[in-house]
Amino acid sequence: MSAVPVSPVPSLQARSAATAPMPSASASLDWGRLGGVLLVLAIAIALPFFTSDYRLFQATMALIMAIAVLGLNMLVGYNGQLSLGHGAIYALGAYTTAILIDQASFPWWATLPVAGLVCFVFGFLFGWPALRLKGHYLALATFALALATPQLLKYKLLEPWTGGVQGIVLTKPEAPAGWPISSDQWLYGITLAITALMFLLAWNVLRGRLGRATIAIREQPIAASAMGINVAYVKAMTFGISALYTGVAGALGAVAAAFVAPDSFGMFVSVFFLVGAVVGGLGTISGAIVGGIFIQFVPNVADQISKSAPSAIYALFLILSMYVMPLGFVGLLTKLLRRRRRAPR
């Protein structure tokens, strides 16, 4: 995989790209990769059998974070645009679910597609004009969105739905009657299935028409447009899909935590997702898993050092990654593996 510059016109300088590309549209099945994926899947499936419920809950959250980070990565990898406001989309998904369960008595699993759809529409509508914005302007707009989200959620006029500052309390889903598993195990199983499905879909979309179109747009937007690709539509579509993923993650997160409140959706959520994306590998699919695990477990460990330690570690990773491993862990691993493969001379 060659590093792909983010700007539409490949410049001489952009070779040390922060984004690793999505696998090329013509990527044939790489047996090594498939083996790796199956191994990870096997471990994931085996997990409930030898860990405590609490750990399983954390694993569930890690998977949810991975889906959210994947949403962000799709935006970066496909559109070459960075959003600092995916926390707001996560909140939108979470609150959609919470309101549907609380006010409309939806079964929790039925809220997932609705949350996904709501976020998709939001992302599509936001993405249409946003395509015109240059990198840091979009970052700025989404940054403002993320900062304003808690205030919006606390707004008095919306209180009948959002529950105001207190938020909304939900009940954790129980395993179906008669099944000999705990609710944590049940939730983990469902989340794992959804995660696997969504990752598979993401990988597939790339190889299809939409994926090829986005790559064409990213590389040479003017030529792509001249060839008849509707740039605005494709970009808005990508934004929508990106929002859909993070929105579904938000919905799942609300169900898992059984609780939503405005102050859990501040700026830091968007920063978490950014950290996850960067650490795993900006713009990659597999990196999202690494990123999700990272942002779920680092606070647990670092919290014991000091209250500020998690943020400090995040900051360090954000800054250092851009110098040392611009392609994240996944990129680093890929580079190392490639070097080993070439080693015998």
Partner 1 sequence: MFFNLLQQIASGVAMGGIYACLGLALVMIYQSTNHINFAQGEMAMFSTFIAFVLLKAGLPYWAAFIATVAFGFVSGMLVERVVLRPLKNAPELSVIVVFIGLLVGVNSLAGWIFGHQLETFPSPFPDKAPFGTTLVSAHELGTIAVALVVVTVLYVFLRFTRIGLAMRASAENPVSSRLSGIPVSRMLSLGWGLSAAIGSIAGLMVAPVVFLDPNMMGGVLIYAFAAALLGGIDNPWGAVVGGIIVGVVENLAGTYVVGSELKLTVALVVIVGVLLIRPSGLFGRKLVARV
Q: What residue ranges bind partner 1 (CB under 8 A)? A: 5-7, 13-14, 16-19, 76, 80, 82, 84, 129, 132-137, 139-141, 143-145, 147-148, 151-152, 154-156, 222, 267, 271, 274, 278, 282, 306-309, 311-312, 314-319, 321-323, 326
Nearest distance from C-beta of residue 144 to partner 1, angstroms: 4
Nearer to partner 1, 156 or 345 (CB): 156
In the bound complex, what is the minimum distance in angstroms from residue 242's beta carbon to partner 1? 15
Q: How far apart are CA 274 and CA 292, in angstroms?
A: 10
| Type of residue numbered 321 | S
Cβ at position 270, least distance to partner 1 in Å: 9
Q: How far is the CB of 300 from partner 1 (least distance, A)?
A: 17
How many whole angstroms separate alpha carbon 76 and alpha carbon 84? 11
Minimum distance of partner 1 from residue 166's CB (angstroms): 15
Q: Minimal distance in Å, beta carbon 58 to partner 1?
A: 23
Nearer to partner 1, 8 or 173 (CB): 8
Nearer CB in complex with partner 1: 183/220: 220
Residues with Cβ within 8 Å of residue 146, at least 6 apart in sequence = 84, 85, 86, 87, 88, 266, 267, 269, 270
Q: Please say which residue, 154 or 235, places its beta carbon nearer to partner 1.
A: 154
Closer Cβ to partner 1, 138 or 248, answer by number: 138
Q: Which is nearer to partner 1, 63 or 92 (CB)?
A: 92
Choice between 226 and 343, CB closer to partner 1 = 226
Q: How far is the CB of 94 from partner 1 (least distance, A)?
A: 19
Q: How far is CA 12 from CA 4, 5, 22, 25, in A?
A: 12, 9, 21, 24
We find the least distance from the C-beta atom of residue 7 to partner 1, in angstroms, to be 7
